[in-house]
Amino acid sequence: MAELRAPSRLAALLVPLALLAPAAAHAEKVVTNDSVGDAQVITTSFPPVGEQVVTTEPAPDETSVDITRTVVAHGDNRLRITVRVRDLVLSSLPETYIRIVTPQQRYAVITGRSPGSRAEAVLTRRGLEADCRGLEARVDGTTDTVTVSLPTTCISSPRWVKVGAGIVRTDRSTEENPDGYVQYADDGHRDVVRENSLGLGPKVHRG
C-alpha cells in the first residue's frame, strides 16, 4: 500500500522533467477528443460588504487551457496520460489536474511548472500525498501537451482505470478586479467546468 503523508508545498499551492519512460509494448489506448473553444472564465470578486461573488462565462478565445484531446495508455507496468491543449503557453503557468478512478480507489495527479523549471507532479489519495517513485511529468510547449506517467503499482495495479483531465490558469488580480482573481479552465471530458469535479472517460483496461 502506498505511504500517505501530508501534501507537499506543490500540492498545497495547486489545490485552494524528467524524460518519460516509454509506454509498455502491450497497452490499451483510448483517445478522447474534446470540443474546441469550450474553455470558461471564472471570476471571483470580494466586495467590501457581503460574500464573495463568483461568475462563470464562456471563453472561446482562451487557447492556453483549451483541451482538445486526452490519450490514456494503460500498460502492464505504467499508466501514461497525455493532454493536448490548443496553444499551451508556458509563461501562463497552467495547472493540470488528472483524476484516476480504479475498481478500488480514486486518485488525483496534480501537475505544475514554474518559470525556468521542470514540471513537478504529485499523486494524492483521499486528499493525502501518496508515495509514488517513478511518477513523472512533462509540459511541452512545442507539442502543446502535458504528459503524466506513473507505475501502475502506485495505484495498486488495477485491471482498468477511468481518467479525467482538467487545466486551470489563474490570474491573481486584474485592473477590473484588483481584490479578486480570474481563472481560465477547461474539462477534457465536458463542455462545462464544475467545481471539485472532472468528467471521466471510458474504462481503459490494462494491456
Sign of CA dihedral 71, 107, 113, 148: negative
Q: What is the pLDDT of residue 113?
A: 74
Each residue's pLDDT tens digit, 55-110? 999 999 999 999 999 999 999 999 999 999 999 887 777 899 999 999 999 999 99
Domain boundaries, the chain: 4-205
Q: Is the model's pLDDT at 25 over the cut of 70?
A: no
pTM of the predicted protein model = 0.82
* Ramachandran area for residue 108 (φ above 0: left; ψ -120 to 50: alpha; else beta): beta
Q: Which residues contact 90 (CB under 8 A, 6 or more apart)?
A: 113, 115, 139, 141
- For 174-187, the DSSP string reads -SS-TTSEEEEEEE
**Which of these ranges, 13-27, 63-77, 93-107, 190-204, has the smallest mean pLDDT?**
13-27
Exposure string (b/e) for 195-205, b if CB count within 10 Å is 16 or more? eeebbbbebbe
pLDDT band at 17; cut points 50, 70, 90: very low
